A and B are shown apart, each in its own frame.
Chain A
Amino acid sequence: VSVAAARPRRRRWPTRVAFLGPGVTWWVVLFAIPVSLVLAYSFARRGPFGGVIYEFSLRNYARAIDPLYLRVVWTSLKLASIATVVAFLLGYPAAYAIATASKRWRLPLLLLVILPFWTSFLIRTYAWIVLLNPAGVLSTLAIRLGLTDGPLPILYNEFAVVLGLVYSYLPLMVLPIYASLERLGPVPEEAAADLYATRWQTMRKVTLPLTLPGIVAGCIFVFVPSLGNFIVPDLLGGGQTVMVGNLIQQQFLTARDWPFGAVIAMFVVVLMIVVLGVQAQVLRRTQEADHGRA
């Protein structure tokens, strides 16, 4: 008996290794090692021709707190936050509409959300330039309709950057919210209605709190890549808006100052860890609340 019981336990090991192995290898090779390298670089010094000289110093960190870079960080946080809020305001109703649509419509609607991903990100960003530029469709239309005298100031500024970010990452907001709405199903809302909650009360006190994990996930999926994006500020911001992603790109490519670029990259990594920590906290709380209710 004991042999029979032990055998499957022993056999589990190869299975575990086989199942976890690829994932762990992936994580170690493509995350843990590169991030450790970046951390190591951040304490090094730039060589005269752009190499890395391994001499421990905190000089790069001291340089990073220069008001110039703090201002760039502030701009990035501001633009990424605005983009996240706008994406939420647009994304939640969209996800709600899809989740509550008839089964026949759900799949085509979801497909429409994902569809833009089938075209290159760069091409879609350039397409916005065509739409927004002073000689472009929108400005021409506005002038023809007599809405404005000159071209609309809608390209090469922060407005265009936020627009580009929202456009790029909106699907990443819609999908997790849709998933949590779908999992929720109609029952809680029906229960709320039975208890004479108004639709607004139902939304505020039942649906929103119960889909919080999806909302937090969506916000992270929008906020994190927005913060690191450098193509949108470059193209739609006309190079006149500098975000953290641009700074990192510039340090690694133009200045070939890898150590300083690494410091800024570390900053983004730390920020991401903080954000993910907040997400974990929120998830735990909702789960605890669930268990409490149960």
Chain B
Amino acid sequence: MKTMVNRSVTAFGSSSRDLRRGKALARSRARFYHIRGSGVLTWGVLVMRRRSFAVRSSAIAAVAVLVLGACASDPTTPAATSTVPASPEPLGGTLVISNWDLYMPKSVVRDFEAETGVEVEYALHTTNEDIMGKLTASNGGGFDLVFVSGPFVEALTELGYAAAIDPAQIPNLANLDDEATQLAYDPGNTHSVPYTWGTTGLCYRSDLVSAPPTSWEVFRTSSPDTDQQMTMLGTDRWLLQPGLLSLGYSINTTNPDEIEAAKQWTMEAKPNLLAFDDTTFYAKLVSGEASVVQAWDGWCEYGVLEDPENIEFTIPTEGSDVWTDTMVVMESSQNKAAAHAFIDYILQPEVGKQIVEYTLYKMPNAAVMAAVDPAVLETHETLSISPSELFSQEAQTGLGEEGTILWVEAATEVKAG
């Protein structure tokens, strides 16, 4: 397939991986693509075989743990290798994880179980708010490891639900990009470890617009190419972001005047829009209903999967946000060693590579990104956005109580107005 011409990736948008509904279709396509593109079919068969072996070997490991338990001196010493753990570690026990659906290949979890003897209970949440609700309802209990977006790490830490990360148990932290250790919501990764990151930008059909969009102002500008053919994200944090960025304000502002101005900006954009859409915007691009949409980079790639010739992604000149999804160990966990081991497992190049090729999201992990199949990188150009480029965007942070109310009211007014 033809390489995409316009790689004018300059600025970024933010996104917590909030709305995963509606991804299933893209996912199945993604799998199909992978099978065609990189011979994953064979790989799948291997995984299937490994699975039955895995069940047996974990049973053996469990027995071994029981028998040797008395003699084992220190079962928590982590493997020091940066690739595959040498042998099944005598970790055992269970590990309750909550993650977004389709945000990790199931094989990764199964392989982890096989290699460590830990039994993983893999729960799903649909949004950050969903898992926050579950955690607040049970006062931080019920899970060992949860996946949440950056701003929610602050909340979990503040509430005392997040355990301190013990770097000694995660040697593969060394694989993280430098930028990923200085993220605004948790500098030094004291209570979280970044899983994936990315930005928000304009995803567009190069064959349907006369000139590639370069600015967020595209939404506020009436043009025959784009009138009633654009969508913006409907969730508050992203709904007001194009306006705030265009007006030169922070994407984390809690200043009522700035929020009001961004609200006005968005109201002016509304007549040009087809819809506010958080879930199917890429499908609207593919069908030609829309020519320009505000999109998270990874979700734009779902459109690229179906139309690699014409669908492009760009970060507008005014800049955007950098969002990070993270892994947080719970303070209430009875098996923190296994939770740390899981994080360490994820950070390995061979494992991370499977995740990136499956989700089409970037990991802030140079070793992982170097291991990704070049064919996938070539088709999905947003995977090549550099860490420094990402990091130059503003990170989303929490808005506080009054700030949140202002934002939600402004968003409601835009949508209802």
Mark A residues whose CB is within 8 Å of B. 46-51, 68, 71-72, 75, 129, 133-135, 156, 234, 238-242, 246-247, 250-251, 253-257
Contacts and interface: CB of A to CB of B under 8 A. Distances in A.
Contacts of A75: 416
Interface string B391-417: 000000000110011001101110110
B277 interface: yes
B416 A257 contact: no
B199 interface: no
A50 B129 contact: yes
Residue among A72, A234, A239 with most chain B CB within 10 A: A239
12 contacts: A46-B405, A49-B158, A50-B136, A68-B409, A135-B289, A156-B274, A239-B275, A239-B276, A240-B273, A250-B411, A254-B236, A255-B405
Contacts of B289: 133-135
Nearest to A45: B401
Given A68-B413, A133-B287, A250 B132 contact: no
A46 B136 CA distance: 13
A238 B274 CA distance: 7
Given A135-B289, A242-B416, A254 B275 contact: no
Given A46-B401, A49-B136, A72-B416, A253 B129 contact: yes
B105 to A, nearest CB: 25
Nearest to B236: A254
Interface in B218-272: 228, 231, 234-236, 270
B275 A238 contact: yes
A154 to B, nearest CB: 13
Residue among B270, B284, B404 with most chain A CB within 10 A: B404
Nearest to B18: A254
A171 B284 CA distance: 31
Q: What 9 pairs between A and B have smallest CB-CB spacing?
A: A238-B275, A239-B276, A242-B416, A255-B408, A239-B234, A49-B155, A156-B275, A253-B129, A242-B415
B270 A240 contact: yes
Nearest to A246: B415
Given A134-B274, A135-B288, A255-B408, 11 more contacts: A134-B228, A135-B289, A239-B277, A239-B278, A240-B273, A247-B412, A250-B408, A254-B235, A255-B404, A255-B405, A257-B408
B232 to A, nearest CB: 9
B188 interface: no
Contacts of B412: 68, 72, 242, 247, 250
Interface of B: 127, 129-130, 132-133, 136, 155, 158-159, 228, 231, 234-236, 270, 273-278, 280, 284, 287-289, 400-401, 404-405, 408-409, 411-413, 415-416
Residue among A49, A133, A238 with most chain B CB within 10 A: A49
Nearest to B130: A253
B364 to A, nearest CB: 25
Nearest to B161: A49
Contacts of B159: 49
A141 B413 CA distance: 36
A25 B275 CA distance: 44
Contacts of B155: 49-50
Contacts of A238: 231, 273-277
Residue among A129, A250, A254 with most chain B CB within 10 A: A254
B328 to A, nearest CB: 14
Contacts of B136: 49-51
A48 B132 CA distance: 13
A182 B183 CA distance: 68
Given A49-B132, A49-B159, A50-B129, A71 B274 contact: no
A256 B132 contact: yes
A264 to B, nearest CB: 11
B129 to A, nearest CB: 5
Contacts of B277: 238-239
A286 B268 CA distance: 53
Contacts of A71: 416
A240 B401 contact: no
A212 B169 CA distance: 71
B276 A135 contact: no
B19 to A, nearest CB: 10
A256 B133 contact: yes
Nearest to B156: A49
A101 B287 CA distance: 43
Nearest to A258: B133
A46 B127 CA distance: 19
Nearest to A260: B405
B133 A48 contact: no
A75 B415 CA distance: 12
A151 B289 CA distance: 10
B416 A256 contact: no
B260 to A, nearest CB: 13
Given A238-B275, A239-B276, A135 B287 contact: yes
A255 B407 CA distance: 9
Contacts of A68: 409, 412-413, 416
Nearest to A48: B401
Residue among B155, B158, B236, B412 with most chain A CB within 10 A: B412
B280 to A, nearest CB: 8
Nearest to B275: A238
A195 to B, nearest CB: 54
Nearest to B155: A49
A65 B190 CA distance: 44
Contacts of B288: 135
A49 B129 CA distance: 10
Residue among A71, A72, A238, A251 with most chain B CB within 10 A: A238
A247 B413 CA distance: 11
Nearest to A134: B289
Contact of A257 (B274, B276, B405): B405
Contacts of B415: 239-242, 246
Contacts of B228: 134
A90 B409 CA distance: 38
A48 B254 CA distance: 14
A255 B406 CA distance: 10
Contacts of A234: 234
A47 B132 CA distance: 13
A238 B401 CA distance: 28
A72 B414 CA distance: 12
B400 A48 contact: yes
A244 to B, nearest CB: 11
A156 B275 CA distance: 6
